[in-house]
Structures are given as structure tokens and as C-alpha cells.
Amino acid sequence: MAIAVRVRKLLDDNGIKYLHTVHSPAYTASEVAQAAHIKGRAFAKTVVIRTPKGGFALVVVSANDLVSLEALGKEMGAEAPRLATEAEFERLFPGIAVGAMSPFGNLYDLPVYVDRSVAEQKEIAFNAGTHRDVVQMAYADFERLAKPKVGAFVE
């Protein structure tokens, strides 16, 4: 399998050191973490939300956490957003398996919100465009590239 072209290009063009691993097909963040032999706390899942104004944003939380839409709404200074449906967001990520988006919203002109529990880790691991590919890299490098807003976004 292969890392999504946009993700690989972003990492390679910026000289980022990363580890690419391939695992058996897995579809939930917890399953991916288990298949890739990564602790659930260390694996970041990317959640697509629909903003109150109809736009989209990415929220990055640990595999075993749930997004707090209320906390996210407070950070956005608006009413609480809602989870986007797969039908709504699949067109935003051409060439990417539904549910296997990387947390690089900047590749798709989407804002990124990262929960503090993820930002406090030395490394971040995430889906890389398929249900088999995972990228692990330094969180500091991810933050430099994605420029996320960090806050408390989990229940």
C-alpha cells in the first residue's frame, strides 16, 4: 500500500523524519492502533466536523477519546458544531479511503483542532490515506506543518 500522495509530498518536501508502517485492514481508530501495535493513547484519529456556518474542520483526538462538540464550539466562538457524515465529507478528500484521512487539514484548506492530550505526546501516529497505512512522526513536526489550534476537545 502507499501513503497518500499529498501526505508523502508534504513530509518529504519538508524533510520530515517519519515511519511508515503497513498493517492488516482496520477501520476504527482503536482497531488501527491495535493492528499497528500502537497504544490507543498514542494513535490519533481524525474526525471531520461540520461548523455552524456550514464549513468543515478536522479534530484530532486520541483513538480512545470522543470529541466534545460543546467544547469545540466554545473554542470556535460559536454554537456547537456537529459530526459530518461520510456522504458530506468524502468528496473533500479525493483519493483517500473514507475514514482514513490524515490530520493535515492544511492539505485541504481545513482548520485543524488538536486535543491537548495529543499535543502533549512526543510522537503522533495516524492514518495515512488508507485503512492499512500508518505514519508515525514527531508531534513537534506535525504541529509545525499543520498549525493546529490546541485545546481541550474531548469528553
Residue, of 4 and 135, whose pLDDT is higher? 135
Q: Where are the domains of the chain?
A: 5-151
Alpha-carbon gap, residue 27 to 35, rounded angstroms: 10
Span 120-138, mean pLDDT?
91
Could you tell me how many residues make up the chain?
Answer: 155
Among 66, 60, 155, 71, smallest CA distance to 104 is for: 60
User: Whole-prediction pTM value?
Assistant: 0.91
Contact assessment for residue 76 and residue 49, using Cβ atoms and an 8 Å cutoff: no
With left for phi above 0 and alpha for psi between -120 and 50, is residue 129 left, alpha or beta?
Answer: left
CATH class held by domain 5-151: alpha beta
Q: Is residue 42 very low, low, confident or very high in pLDDT (cuts 50, 70, 90)?
A: confident
Residues 6+ apart with CB under 8 A from 92: 48, 56, 108, 110
